[in-house]
Amino acid sequence: MKRIFSGIIAFIIILSLPIAVFAENKNENVVIKEDEVVKGDFFTAGDTIKNVGTVKGDVFAAATKFENIGRVLGDIIVGSGESQIGGSIDGNLRIGTVNLSIIGEIGKNVTALSQVVILENSGAVDGNINAFSEKIDINGIIGGDFRGIADDITINGDIKGDVNIDTEKLTLGPNAKIDGNLTYESPEEIDIPEGIVSGEISYKFKDNNIDTKKVEKGIGALNVVGKSIKIISYLIVSFILTLIFSSFMKKTSATISKKPWYALGIGIVVLVAVPIVSLLMMITVIGIPLGLISFVIYGVLIYLSKIPAALWIGEKILKNEEKPYLPMVLGILLLLLVGFIPYLGKFVSFVAIFFGIGSYLLNIKEAIQKPKTIEPLDE
């Protein structure tokens, strides 16, 4: 679990970056004062962010420390290190943080990704709490359901709905009250005094020993499903492109026959040179958009590069087939099957990519440079 929360902290930082970049206010300390009213959504980033006033919209924030004491009529969406949520929030709280303390009232739901989540005695959540954490303490009131995954969960407050938790250790304090059902998964079943849970109690044994054989089977099944989806998706994309641009696709296939070495050479040069040129462009600030665009085009070109070679292979086998769809499908299936052969598969795939890129670019160049016949105007 410790490793998981190292990942969580990294996730919070990544989550915070877009907010920090596009924030309206980007200072070390940001404070909405007690008599201050923000009439719309509030975007901010800083070292310390504190709301003592009123925000009549949503709050989007990234900070080392975030504190709300005032009122927010919308949602609060936060990525921060330390977070204390007081005051009142009419909407939802969506938060990624290290330590979360709720001391105020939240009108709707809480979704928390945090190392520690504490709903204090003074805290109240009118809706549901969904929390993924290392430690969760519920001391206040939850008007809806509580769902949590944590190593250590303590319930010592009033929960009006159902409780569904997965934990290594569950503790029910003297003030614990669950009006709905309690469903918990844990290595040990605990004794629950009468009167704490009004609904049904359901326990499921949690086995921490991982069945490696089941995991391997599961991974194997996912790989098969993933590869099947990949093949079907590629066939659909190829079919649609061949259907829409049948004439152009036929020309690219013919180019491989007419100018094989030319197409191969251009394909190799482009495959190697484009990433280098794009990175060089991105060194300068002005060239960043062009570099990013070229990388996108480069990726699309590589993804579609096997279609001309597949069509060429299919046409060599189905010589009497006039329409390109069936040869294209046959060629792709053959390339994919060969791709499963160690070493040979990789080599054939690279050659197909080289020929495809080269033939695409030769035909695009020809289409651009081809003179257009302009009919004279009738006198």
Lowest mean pLDDT among 39-43, 66-70, 338-342, 352-356: 338-342
Q: What is the DSSP letter of 70?
A: S
pLDDT cut 90: percent of the chain above it: 29
Beta bridge pairs of residue 76? 59, 93
Mean pLDDT of 187-198: 89
Cα 46 to Cα 40: distance, rounded to the nearest angstrom: 19
pLDDT at 238: 78
pLDDT at 211: 55
pLDDT at 9: 39
Would you say residue 371 has pLDDT above 70?
Answer: no
Q: What is the DSSP letter of 181?
A: -
pLDDT at 287: 66
Torsion angle in degrees (nearest 10) through CA of 66, 68, 72, 78: 20
Q: What is the DSSP letter of 34?
A: T
Q: 239 pLDDT band (50/70/90 cuts)? A: confident
pLDDT at 68: 95
Of the two residues 341 and 13, the one the predictor is more confident about is 341
pTM exceeding 0.75: no
- The answer to whether 103 and 121 have CB atoms below 8 angstroms apart is no
Q: How far is CA 258 from CA 251, 252, 261, 285, 325, in A?
A: 10, 10, 9, 42, 21
